[in-house]
């Protein structure tokens, strides 16, 4: 397949644009998604110019109605791709997401569905403080009916975006700000990546590292360091949290017997807990040592860069966790 180098951000935008060309019911909405605002939003990127204000809809600062209106539009026939400028604002629209979008299909016995994508930019990158830095995927993971996608590469950003837009269920699509400008080869055309299929990003035999989004490159970095110390780590990029590719995790643990999960979200009840719990149940007999989680500590995200650098898990911390079970 033809491909070209592009950034994660451009690749996601290409995915959206392709779907908009293919399907007239796909539209975007959110704060600063239109022409002027692209300096701020994650989306846009040429999309506005091509499609105009009917299909790329700038909204007031009303996260509740951004998500809430999307539920109604999706139920009757549109495919909204709406966005939160920061994932930190999820609490403002959690009712619409959890009580309306996610429940609609089950509760109405299949009469309605909510095919919508909620794009959220996540992560602590530039020092932006406690309200502009969070990774809150765990909240969504505890809501039956949602899907959660968190790509780590440009190609996946495109391929998973297209799949998410075509999915008939509400999808929370997480774009980590540290990844937006990262480049990669991206297949041209109608390129899709299925949800629920993890990728073994690096094969290894001594320990399994499970991650998603920006923690994947961090795990690869850790794996590199570990290799130098003679420890051969396998790195699994989940790509989607819900559906979760249990098989990929369990078969890797079957090989390595050791599991370390890394995420940028705070520790307690982060999605790492679910993975650990799943393996401690379904993969217990495969385990040779304790399951470690490498996460942000249980605090609000501090603003000062001097503190922030200790907040976000890094390769050294992942390496150190692996060492404790090696």
Partner 1 sequence: MGATGLDLLGMYRCMVRIRTFEEHILTEWRAGEVPGEVHLYSGEEAVAAGVIANLRVDDYVVSTHRGHGHVLAKGGDPARMMAEVFGRTGGYCRGKGGTMHMADATLGILGTNGIVGASLPIATGVGLYCQYMATDRVSVCFFGDGASNRGTFHESLDLASIWKLPVIYVCENNYYGMATSVEEHMNINDIAERAASYGIPGVVVDGNDVVAVHDAAAEAIIRARSGGGTTLIECKTWRHHGHFTADPAYYRDPDVHNEHLQRDPIIRCGALLLSQGLATKEALDAVHNEAIAEMNAAVEFSKNSPWPEEDELLVGLYAE
Ligand X SMILES: Cc1ncc(C[n+]2csc(CCOP(=O)(O)OP(=O)(O)O)c2C)c(N)n1
CB-CB contact of 85 with 122 (8 Å)? no
195 is an interface residue for a second copy by CB under 8 A: no
**Closer by beta carbon to ligand X, 85 or else 242:** 85
268 is an interface residue for partner 1 by CB under 8 A: no
SS3 88: helix
Active-site residue (options: 105, 132, 176, 263):
132
Separation of alpha carbons 50 and 284, rounded Å: 52
CB under 8 Å, gap of 24 or more: what pairs does 217-220 form? 217/152, 217/182, 218/262, 218/313, 218/314, 218/315, 218/318, 219/262, 219/315, 219/318
Interface residue with a second copy, options 28, 82, 138, 160 (CB under 8 A): 138
| Residues across the chain | 326
Q: Residue 73 touches which of ligand X, a second copy, partner 1, none (CB < 5 to 8 A by kind)?
A: partner 1
Quote the DSSP letter at residue 214: T
From residue 257 to residue 286, what is the string marking binding to a second copy with x (rule CB under 8 A)?
A: --------xx-xxxxxxxxxx-xxxx-xx-
Closest distance between ligand X and the C-beta of residue 59, in Å?
10
Interface residue with ligand X, options 8, 27, 89, 139 (CB under 6 A): 89
181 is an interface residue for partner 1 by CB under 8 A: no
**Closer by beta carbon to ligand X, 79 or else 119:** 119
Separation of alpha carbons 52 and 60, rounded Å: 17
96 is an interface residue for ligand X by CB under 6 A: no
- DSSP assignment of 127-175: ---TTS----HHHHHTSTT-EEE---SHHHHHHHHHHHHHSSS-EEEEE
- Angle, in degrees to the nearest 10, between helices 271-282 and 246-256: 60
Instruction: Judge whether 132 counts as a catalytic residue.
Output: yes
130 is an interface residue for partner 1 by CB under 8 A: yes
Q: Residue 123 touches which of a second copy, partner 1, ligand X, none (CB < 5 to 8 A by kind)?
A: none
- Which residues are within 8 A (CB) of 107 and not within 5 positions of it... i.e. 6 or more apart? none
Interface residues for partner 1 in 90-119 (CB under 8 A)?
A: 92, 95-96, 99-100, 104-113, 115
Residues near ligand X, by CB under 6 A:
31, 61, 63, 85, 89, 92
> Applying CB under 8 A, which residues contact a second copy?
88-99, 102-103, 106-107, 129-131, 136, 138-139, 141-142, 144-145, 242, 265-266, 268-277, 279-282, 284-285, 287, 289-293, 297-300, 302
């Amino acid at each position: 397949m033809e491909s070209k180098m592009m950034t994660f951000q451009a690749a996601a935008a290409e995915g959206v644009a392709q779907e908009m060309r293919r399907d007239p019911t796909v539209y975007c909405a959110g704060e600063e998604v239109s022409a002027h605002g692209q300096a701020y939003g994650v989306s846009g990127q040429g999309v506005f110019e091509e499609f105009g204000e009917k299909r790329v809809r700038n909204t007031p600062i009303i996260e509740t109605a951004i998500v809430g209106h999307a539920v109604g539009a999706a139920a009757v026939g549109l495919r909204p791709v709406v966005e939160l400028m920061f994932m930190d604002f999820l609490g403002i629209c959690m009712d619409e997401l959890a009580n309306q979008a996610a429940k609609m299909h089950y509760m109405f016995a299949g009469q309605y569905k909510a095919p919508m994508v909620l794009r959220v930019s996540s992560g602590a990158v530039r020092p932006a403080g406690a309200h502009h830095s969070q990774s809150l995927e765990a909240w969504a993971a505890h809501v039956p009916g949602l899907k959660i996608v968190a790509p780590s590469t440009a190609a996946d950003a495109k391929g998973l975006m297209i799949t998410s837009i075509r999915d008939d269920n509400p999808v929370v699509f997480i774009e980590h700000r540290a990844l937006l400008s990262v480049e990669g080869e991206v297949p041209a055309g109608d390129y899709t990546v299925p949800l629920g299929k993890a990728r073994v990003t690096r094969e290894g035999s001594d320990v399994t590292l499970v991650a998603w989004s920006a923690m994947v490159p961090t795990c690869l970095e850790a794996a590199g360091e570990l290799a130098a110390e003679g420890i051969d780590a396998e790195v699994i990029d989940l790509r989607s949290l819900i559906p979760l590719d249990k098989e990929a995790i369990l078969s890797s643990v079957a090989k390595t017997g050791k599991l370390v999960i890394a995420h940028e979200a705070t520790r307690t009840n982060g999605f790492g807990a679910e993975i650990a719990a799943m393996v401690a149940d379904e993969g217990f007999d495969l385990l040779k040592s304790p399951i470690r989680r490498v996460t942000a500590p249980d605090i609000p995200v501090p603003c000062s860069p001097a503190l922030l650098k200790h907040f976000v898990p890094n390769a050294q911390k992942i390496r150190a966790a692996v060492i404790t079970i090696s």
